Structure 1
């Protein structure tokens, strides 16, 4: 694990390139550049006004909420949306000519992909989003990603208190829940505001963030990327359109895949443990009057009250999520390279550009690591791509993509290190136990949605 979310503390990541760990620290005092104590990223002091306005609303409505039995969410998404919009500022609408070019690029990419994968096209529509539209269309998915972690954070420490302490601390607990929701919301809002100008497509970080089947490209971010590259803009657009279309083929026609991704995040949250020592120290010295003093409030939020400890359950869940995302990325790279081939001369160079982008931990990787607790390792991505390429050479595209029919057929983390054994199993047709596994999976779907329907 690298950057951990919402107050997780971990040392410098030895796998980061030189200088990356230093970027996280304030050059003046060597402390993490993290005024809230909830993950990474610099806090924009210009947003303090909105945060304190929310504080006023919180206190004015606290009595009504508690009297009516209402409970604030673990993340203040209204604040998150406001801070994201404030960070983005004014954006020009996407020109119709640009939108039309993006629609044509995705349509052509799907035609080319038809020749290299048996999975059919998964796009039902194509759009060009501004940064504001990206926030609006992906916030629902971010809620599903952030809620499990934030809810666990907001309840696990309180559940560890003795019953008599819970009764005495009732008003304080309600206040801390709302303050935690604000802190989480402020971090999410600032992260999304930054990320909205950096992501290139709706699936840029490997997750289906937008509506199902909607291929979305970000012209503003693509233009910024193109300024530093030698390839023609039309080739860059085509390359990214092919990646977006390939992602949607997986997410649309492998129905268990989005569920597995979200389940891994939820498993991470369920494995969370909190050291009560810091909370006890905070409660002993807490002065409610400090809430009216901005400087004291900043110091309070900087304490990093919640200090969860990594557990074996969390580490296992993160390994599953990391492996699954690496397999998705590796498969997309393989089929896109095969589809574009000689049609786009700069395909290899563009693929390498995106690999370097991941390796240096761009805003997308940093935000995902902060909010979810996972940083994709470039080594995993490269090894996953090599595995899919070798599997294609050995058994062809149909057998290669047949392993997506069930999660038990996919390669595991060990297979990424030693792909030969996995390829031999696929060539030998080893599907022991898969019939029962598929039956169990179908039963789960037929029984109706569970927590994922929220």
Structure 2
């Protein structure tokens, strides 16, 4: 259903080149980012109190085509088993034999090209990520996830903002290392996210009439996005069942992104002297861009991700401020202790439910036959 080779070829061909630096400068950037990822890991471990490994592998530093290849590998791990199940549920094609094979092959190449176009756009904007889904290692020795930093994008942003390169690189590493802490220090979190993604995709409605209606909705969303509207494609094509699943996914990813943003700023003043300047300029950059760029961000749901940073960070800041880091870390105990979307918007609800649940008021023991204290004794014979 997706030609992954075409996706890689399309993405790497269309992606824009990064900033021009000498080979020696590039080597220095890569070496520093690896060192800073280790340094940031220690700061994150000490600040959050999360149970994470002491000496992980340094971050993998890639260029833009390398990021595209890595993400296609991740997509294949997640999607190919699902594609097989969806294929079994599909209505038989009206084209039989060789004609059906040709139609399917053409369709998979078109879809692969579409994936490649999206990846080429994202590859020039992502600073780093924790890759949850990697191809299995036959030896079983490689970790199940990998921290990746996109060197050209980090250099481009630091140059564009005019900030201190060392401080900015460490600041980025603090955020990404927080994600590594979340998915390596919380044993169940990775599987929980994958299960929600699987449920979301399997809840797709393959009925041709329903699909046609959602395609029309998607077309309306595209037009609305370029007029400045708030809709995005993910919302337009989902089924009612998928909306409930997406709410759970959105809640956990809002928590993860907000936690990363909170940690990078809270640790920052001690180890990143110019953190206030970096944050102010970075926020301005997030909100900027051309009209076309803003429309594409809305269309792909990237503005929603920016909202997740803000709402998630506000949630973490409020909870840690009221109950402390140790009680905040109860959020990682189980899927049941994760905040809902409503609780992220109103952190007090989560605090009352999980961090410091309110006990029932103690009722003093009364004599077996004594009347309630607030009622007069009953008269004899009544």
TM-score between both structures, scaled by the size of structure 2: 0.71
Distance in 2 between residues matched to 1:321 and 1:365, nearest whole Å: 24
Aligned pair in 2 of structure 1 residues 361, 430: CA closer, same or farther (>3 Å)? Answer: farther
Choose from 12, 24, 33 the match for 1:102. Answer: 33
Aligned in 2, Cα 1:220/1:365: closer, same or farther, shift over 3 Å?
A: farther
Question: What is the Cα deviation at residue 252 of structure 1?
Answer: 1.0
Mark the runs of 5 or more structure 2 residues left unpaired by the alignment: 135-142, 213-235, 360-382
Residue of structure 2 in register with 1:264 after alignment:
196
Residue 126 of structure 2: aligned partner: 199
Question: Where do 4+ consecutive residues of structure 1 move more than 6 Å?
Answer: 89-94, 360-365
- Corresponding position of 1:129: 62
Partner residue of 2:320 out of 376, 392, 411:
392
Identify the residue that residue 141 of structure 1 maps to in structure 2.
74
Q: Which position in structure 1 is the counterpart of 2:184?
A: 252
Between the aligned partners of 2:345 and 2:27, the Cα distance in structure 1 is 47
Q: For the pair shown, which has the larger CA radius of gyration, 1 or 2?
A: 2
1:410 is aligned to: 338
Q: How do 1:11-410 residues align onto structure 2 when only pairs under 5 Å count?
A: 74-88=1-15, 95-121=26-52, 123-147=56-80, 158-159=90-91, 169-203=96-130, 208=132, 212=144, 214-277=146-209, 310-351=238-279, 370=300, 376-410=304-338
1:99–1:309: structure 2 CA closer, same or farther, 3 Å change rule? closer
Q: Is the 8 A contact 2:205 2:211 kept in 1?
A: no
Query: Gaps (5+ residues) in structure 1?
Result: 1-73, 281-307, 432-454
Residue 144 of structure 1 contacts residue 262 of structure 1 at CA under 8 Å; is this kept in 2?
no
- 1:411 CA drift (Å): 0.8
Deviation at 1:245, TM superposition (A): 1.2
Deviations 1:253-278 (A, max 9, x none): 11222222222222222221245259
Determine which structure has greater relative contact order: mean sequence separation of CA pairs < 8 Å that are 6+ residues apart, divided by chain length: 1
Question: Per the alignment, in what secondary structure is the counterpart of residue 95 of structure 1?
Answer: helix
Change over 3 Å in CA distance of 1:422–1:263 after alignment to 2: same
Structure 2 CA distance, aligned partners of 1:117 and 1:408?
Answer: 21
* Residue 412 of structure 1: how far off its partner (Å): 0.6
Query: What is the DSSP-based 3-state SS (H/G/I as helix, E as strand, rest coil) of the residue aligned with 2:148?
Result: strand
TM-score w.r.t. length of structure 1: 0.61
Match of 2:196, SS state, is helix
Distance 1:365 1:139, change over 3 A: farther
Contact 1:112 1:340 in 2 (8 A): no
Shift of residue 329 of structure 1? 0.6
CA RMSD in angstroms comes to 3.6
Return the offset for 1:102. Answer: 1.3
- Separation in 2, partners of 1:152, 1:357: 42
Residue correspondences, number: 320
Task: Report if the CA contact (8 A) 1:121-1:249 is conserved.
Answer: yes
Determine the C-alpha separation between the residues in 2 that align with 1:87 and 1:346.
35
Residue 59 of structure 2 aligns to a residue whose secondary structure is: strand
Shift of 1:88: 4.2
Identify which range, 243-252 or 211-220, moves more after superposition: 211-220
Cross-structure match for 1:444: none
Following the alignment from structure 1 to structure 2, what is the Cα–Cα distance between the partners of residues 262 and 364?
29
- In 2, the alpha carbon distance for the partners of 1:104 and 1:186 equals 36
Answer whether contact 1:264 1:317 (CA < 8 A) is retained.
yes
Structure-2 change in CA distance of 1:146 and 1:365 (3 Å): farther
Whether the aligned pair in 1 keeps the contact of 2:3 and 2:108 (CA below 8 Å) is: yes
State the shift of 1:335 in Å.
1.9
1:109 deviation in Å?
1.6
Which deviations, in whole Å up to 9, do the C-alpha atoms of 1:47-82 show, x marking residues without a partner?
xxxxxxxxxxxxxxxxxxxxxxxxxxx210111122
Distance in 2, matches of 1:408 and 1:240, equals 30
Does the C-alpha gap of structure 1 residues 88 and 375 become closer, same or farther in structure 2, counting only changes over 3 Å? closer
Distance 2:113 2:101 in 1: 18
In 2, are the aligned partners of 1:395 and 1:427 still within 8 Å (CA)?
Answer: yes
Q: Secondary structure at the match of 1:202?
A: strand
| SS of structure 2 residue aligned to 1:114 | helix
Bigger shift: residues 81-90 or 404-413? 81-90
Aligned counterparts of 2:13 and 2:331: Cα–Cα separation in 1: 45
Q: 1:188 to 1:257 in 2, by over 3 A?
A: same
